Amino acid sequence: MATKKMNAFYAQSGGVTAVINASACGVIETARKHKDKIGKVYAGRNGIIGALTENLIDTTKESATAVAALRHTPSGGFGSCRYKLKSLEANKREYERLIEVFKAHNIGYFFYNGGGDSADTCYKVSQLSETLGYPVQAIHVPKTVDNDLPITDNCPGFGSVAKYIAVSTLEATYDVRSMCATSTKVFVLEVMGRHAGWIAAAGAMASSKDTELPIVVLFPEVLFDQKKFLAKVGSLVKKFGYCTVVVSEGCHYPDGKFLAEQGTRDAFGHAQLGGAAPVVANMIKDALGHKFHWAVADYLQRAARHIASKTDVKQAYELGKKAVELAVKGHNSVMPTVDRISDSPYKYKIGMADLKDVANVEKFMPRDFITKDGFGITPKCKRYLTPLIQGEDYPKYQDGLPVYVTLKNVAVAKKLPAFKL
C-alpha cells in the first residue's frame, strides 16, 4: 500500500466501447477527490504501450468540464491498444521498464481498463511488488462488449452494445417484413462475440409476447448444424414470409472452424474474424433461394453512444470510481464487480473480486439461457438481459449531431531513454 502521496497511471486496453470513457471519468474525478493520497493521474497514450514508451498524458491539464464530458463520449479518450504483456520469465525487460517509468514519475497506483487479456496484464503488474520489489497497487477496471469476464454480473460496454443490437434487429426486421412480398425475405446481421454469444442473444430481445418476430440466433456456444439451421429458416419464412438471422462472429462448425475465419490473426493471437454474415446469407440463397440483405455491425455497435444504455453508463462510472476507492483503502490485485441482487426490480451492489480469479477465465452463456433448439433465448436469459439495456442516456446534441469531447492530451515530459517495443 502506498503510504506517501503517489501518482496514478490509468490506461485503456483492447477494443473500446460506448462507455469506457465513463469509467475514465469515474477514475479521474474520484482521484481528484483524494488529493491526500493521489497526486496526478497520468494516462497512457494508446494504453499500456504509453507506459512502456513513457508516452504519458497529464490529465490534470484537462478541465473539470472536459473530464465530465468523457461520461457521454464514446471510444477511448486516451487511445487504446491490443498489447499483452508476456510472463515475467518470458519478458523481464518490459516489467523492468514499467518499474523504471513508474519510479521516474512517482507512480504507485495502476488502473487498467479492459477485458480478459487486460485482466491478465493487470494481474502481472500487481505482482511487481513481490517479484521485482516495486510497490504498486494494480486495480483492474472491467470493460468488454463481449460480457465474458467472470464473477461480475456483467461488463461495462455490454449493455450499450446489447441495446444497439436489440434496437437494430427490431428495426431491420420491421424493414424486411415490409419488403418480403416481392423482394428481400431474409436479413442477416453479424455481431461481435468471439467465444461468448451474449451480444447475439440481445438480438432476440426484439421479439416479444406482444409482437412475435421470426429471429434466429447463431451462438458460438452452439455448434453450427447447417441442415438444422436451414430447416429453421425455411420453416420461419414459410410461416411469417420473412426472417432475421443474428449471427455471432464466433459461430463455428463442430471441428472448431469459424464460419467467419479469414486465416489471419490479431495482435493477441486470436483468429481474425469477420465475414460470417455473407457466408450465412449465401448459404440460405443457395439452399432455399431466398433473396437476402446482410450487414456487419462491427465498430458501429460498440461506438454507438447515442443509444447507450443508462444502466451501462451508470455502472461504467461506478466501477471506475470504485477502483480508486479500493486503491486508496490499500487494495491490490483486485477488480470492482457488479453483484446482482435481483432482476425485477433490478438491484445490484458494487463488489470486489481477486484478479487471480478473473485473469484468463471466460464466462460463456449458460445453456439454460439458450432455447433447446439452439436458435433463441429463454425467459431466464431475457430476465438477465432486460435491466442491462434499460434507460436512455442521450448526449447533448448540436446542429443535429451529438456533442463529444476531444481532450487536449498534454504530454508529460520524458525523463528516460527511448524504449523499443
Q: Which residues of 203-221 are buried (b: 16+ CB within 10 A; e: fewer)?
A: bbbbbeeeeebbbbbbbbb
Contact in structure between 308 and 18 (CB atoms under 8 Å) = yes
* CA–CA dist 378, 400 (Å, integer): 39
Which of 117, 120, 146, 312 is flagged as catalytic? 146
Distances (CA, A) of 232 to 119, 181, 218, 228: 39, 20, 11, 6
* CA–CA dist 213, 197 (Å, integer): 20
* CA–CA dist 251, 265 (Å, integer): 17
H runs (alpha helix) in 181-273: 198-203, 226-240
Contact in structure between 409 and 78 (CB atoms under 8 Å) = yes
Distances (CA, A) of 159 to 57, 113, 165, 241: 29, 17, 10, 31
* CA–CA dist 247, 280 (Å, integer): 8
Residues forming beta bridges with residue 323, ordered by sequence position: none
Q: For 242, how many CA atoms within 13 A lie in the half-sphere containing its CB?
A: 23
Strands 334-342 and 347-354, by their bridges, are: antiparallel
Contact in structure between 296 and 282 (CB atoms under 8 Å) = no
Residue 146 a catalytic site member? yes
Cell of 314: 451508470
Residues with a catalytic annotation lie at 146
